[in-house]
Structure 1
Amino acid sequence: MTAAGVHWITTAWRAVYPPTCLLCGAAGAGGLDICTGCRADLPWITAACPRCAQPRAPLSHSPQQLCGQCRRQPPPYQRCLALLHYQEPVRSLIHGLKFDDQMAVLRLFGNLMAEVLPTAPLWRQPDLLIPMPLHPRRLRQRGYNQVLELARILAPPLALTLDSRSCKRDHFTTPQAQLNRIERLDNIRGAFRATRRLDGCRIVVLDDVVTTGATVGELTQVLQAAGAAWVDVWTLARTGTINQSPLTNEVFNHDR
């Protein structure tokens, strides 16, 4: 189904079934499947490295200052925007959308990303939104690519061109969660292939969780080799230092 088709069905569904908070069961707020209280309690990332989105303590650095890792060895992508810390309840929700076919969670996260991402100072409009590809064998096991489904919800409200065909995952790899940083880099090397030239294209790679950045980094290099002008990364969640302080809002304006 196309992104426009998903958007139409979602709109029709909401007209018949009002949104309900997925966390507490109360009425949803703002047309989303989450209430005001539970939304406020989500582990939002309020301060992060502008290059890799590694969370950090608020007010400890200027918003433009790179983390130590990015100063020593920056990733190939130019910017990374991450909404949430990968901790509860986000961890369980992502597990549900990834392995339990919980489409309501996809709808919630897609709509949250569409609302919050454009408020980021680092936001810039891409020509293409490319969801992280799944290997065909993994796709058969899972039945769907949760990141592609997330992109189908995210693309229409932001007027983004969704492109799931310009890059393929050729190598079946061990799940990255089981590996350390060095093993992740070795495991994912050569896994992706561009299917066409992308000369001058401004691209955003979408993923659900970024840990070390090895997977999105490998895909970025493939897209750059195909001619991409720049590649940014958007992710729903980022692992790293836990921070829920309300003292700063340098990454996103959550009050919008």
Structure 2
Amino acid sequence: MKVNNWLNIIQNKWLPPRCIFCGQAGFDGLDLCRACYDDLSRNLHCCYRCGEPFETAISTPQLCGRCLKKSPHFDETHAPFLYDDLLRFLITQLKFNQRYLHARLLGNLLATHLEQTAELPECIIPVPLHRRRYQERGFNQSLEIARHLANRLSIPLDLNSCIRNRNTAHQTELPAKQRRKNLRNAFSVISPLNHQHIVIVDDVMTTGATADALAQALKHHGVNRVDVWVCARAC
């Protein structure tokens, strides 16, 4: 941790952060200026279980109609931003153009939110990619975001307990019902889990089908609580 802190100090002195969107000076150690930070759309009023935005403001934690009808296997979702044009740019450029700087920004934005709102878990599991998809893409964007979270929040990363069994079709290409079917039995736990509270990290949540499938596998192997941390929630 001390080495990382010194590296951050040196980097911020000689290579001060610049806003990814407009090129102005960053603030608070972020690769984002204050004006662009204020332009990010917050997910302020949402279902505490799946993060789906509510149309009206709420004052107490509530479940959406979908979660009341059929609860997902995960227990709580933290998704501080809405998947608008700005978040879409950050996430798609990271995912498809390997903009690792975006992973640092997304991880720091998410960590700042979590430090104020979340009960920290015993470990973090980034959503695994199938080995074929990993070979095609060369990296896992969820893992890159999770690395920054783990470092900032001092939480262990578990990269070995879960695998993706099938190279499933891209979720964005499928309607909600097909997304759930597409991910049935998509994940397996391949080593003993010694934690009772685990967090799944992903870049964006659309229907929650991916997180639900992974949470189901984790709970089937004795995990008591599974939360989901994502940078953004689709409306």
TM tier, shorter chain?
A: over 0.9
How far is the alpha carbon of 1:159 from its aligned partner? 1.2
How far apart in 1 are the matches of 2:134 and 2:80?
26
Query: Residue 198 of structure 2 aligns to a residue in which SS?
Result: strand
* Alignment of structure 1 residues 187-226 onto 2, 5 Å: 187-226=182-221
* Alignment of structure 1 residues 1-256 onto 2, 5 Å: 9-59=7-57, 61-120=58-117, 123-240=118-235
**Identity of counterpart residues, as a percentage?**
40
- Counterpart residue number, 1:251: none
How far apart in 1 are the matches of 2:212 and 2:60?
22
CA offsets per residue over residues 18-55 of structure 1, 9 Å max, x none? 00001111000001100111101101111101111001
Q: Which has the higher contact order (CA 8 A, sep 6+)?
A: 1
How far apart in 1 are the matches of 2:228 and 2:62?
18
Query: Residue 155 of structure 1 aligns to a residue in which SS?
Result: helix
| Change in CA separation of 1:16 and 1:58 when aligned onto 2, cut-off 3 Å | farther
| Change in CA separation of 1:11 and 1:190 when aligned onto 2, cut-off 3 Å | farther
CA offsets per residue over residues 53-82 of structure 1, 9 Å max, x none? 0011342x3432211111111111110110
How far apart in 2 are the matches of 1:139 and 1:8?
32
Matched positions, count: 235
Q: If each structure's helix is expressed as a fraction of its own residues, which one has the higher value?
A: 2
How far apart in 1 are the matches of 2:95 and 2:88?
11
Moved more, 198-207 or 80-89: 198-207
Query: Residue 47 of structure 2 aligns to a residue in which SS?
Result: coil
How far is the alpha carbon of 1:103 from its aligned partner? 1.1
Long gaps (5+) in structure 2: none
Conservation of the 8 A alpha-carbon contact between 2:27 and 2:34: yes
How far apart in 2 are the matches of 1:9 and 1:106?
17
- Please give the root-mean-square deviation of Cα atoms over the aligned residues, in Å: 1.7
How far apart in 1 are the matches of 2:17 and 2:64?
39
Conservation of the 8 A alpha-carbon contact between 1:6 and 1:152: no
How far apart in 1 are the matches of 2:195 and 2:148?
26
How far is the alpha carbon of 1:116 from its aligned partner? 1.4
How far apart in 2 are the matches of 1:45 and 1:33?
21
| Change in CA separation of 1:39 and 1:187 when aligned onto 2, cut-off 3 Å | same
How far apart in 1 are the matches of 2:3 and 2:186?
31
How far apart in 1 are the matches of 2:183 and 2:23?
40
Query: Residue 108 of structure 2 aligns to a residue in which SS?
Result: helix
Query: What is the TM-score when the length of structure 1 is the normalising length?
Result: 0.87
